[in-house]
Amino acid sequence: MKIRSFFIYTIFLQTISIVMLWGVWLAWIEFDYLADFETIYNKQQEIIAEGFANTLETVSSQPETVKQIAHHLQNMYIDTMLNGEDDDLHYLPWFIVLNKDNDLIYTNRPELSLPKRVLSLASEKISVAGEKWYLSYSWGKQHKIKVFIGESVEDRGHVIGNPISGTFVPFLFILATVILAILITAYFSLRPLRQAAELISKPKTS
């Protein structure tokens, strides 16, 4: 095998190895880490919904006050999720407040209808108006108020982050660094190796 071909094969194998490692890492994030994270995240939403429901139950006899407080809690939730770092992100979760008879008291998305089949579930991934949603809910302690918190799959992806787009630039940097290192090694190695090969191949004169 020629020396130049050896370095070309080395670059190819290093590139394939890094791409495979990146693929394995992305698969682990997608099918293991994020799957567990979604379960934990849904549970956190249920806890937040319970806190909101307990707060609203203190004024459950005043529907207009419930609406005002629910609106403030909604804004507080959005600000917390965005953490003040991405004001340009169109993040609009779905808030629903029902009374003990499942009558609607407040919603920030009146254009979306709540499917009846999720009224008895703690957490569910549903499709509404052609969009996928994570929907979690909880009763208040007195079972007078039920609060739903919905988050679209797209919005959750923006908040959590996409593992592919988030790691693509570091992946390219690592790949470029490896290839550059091989090219530099080849540059400084080929000349002396070629000279040595020429000396060896020259016929000896007696």
User: In this structure, which amino acid lies at residue 43?
Assistant: K
Q: Is 37 part of a structural domain of the chain?
A: no
Backbone angles phi, psi at 100, to 5 degrees: -65, -20
Average pLDDT, the chain: 80
Q: How confident is the model at residue 122, as a pLDDT?
A: 58
- Which residue segment(s) compose the domain that 60 sits in? 44-163
**Angle between helical axes of 163-201 and 3-28 (0-180°, round to 10):** 160
SS3 (DSSP) at 124: strand
Q: Is 77 part of a structural domain of the chain?
A: yes
Higher pLDDT, 187 or 4: 187
Q: Which residue has the tokens 């071909």?
A: 5
Quick check: 203 pLDDT over 80? Answer: no
Q: Is 81 part of a structural domain of the chain?
A: yes
In angstroms, the CA 19 to CA 31 distance is 18
* Number of compact structural domains in the chain: 1
Q: Is 4 part of a structural domain of the chain?
A: no
- Kindly state the average pLDDT of the residues 44-66: 92
Give the model's confidence band at 96: pLDDT under 50 very low, under 70 low, under 90 confident, else very high.
very high
In angstroms, the CA 160 to CA 32 distance is 15
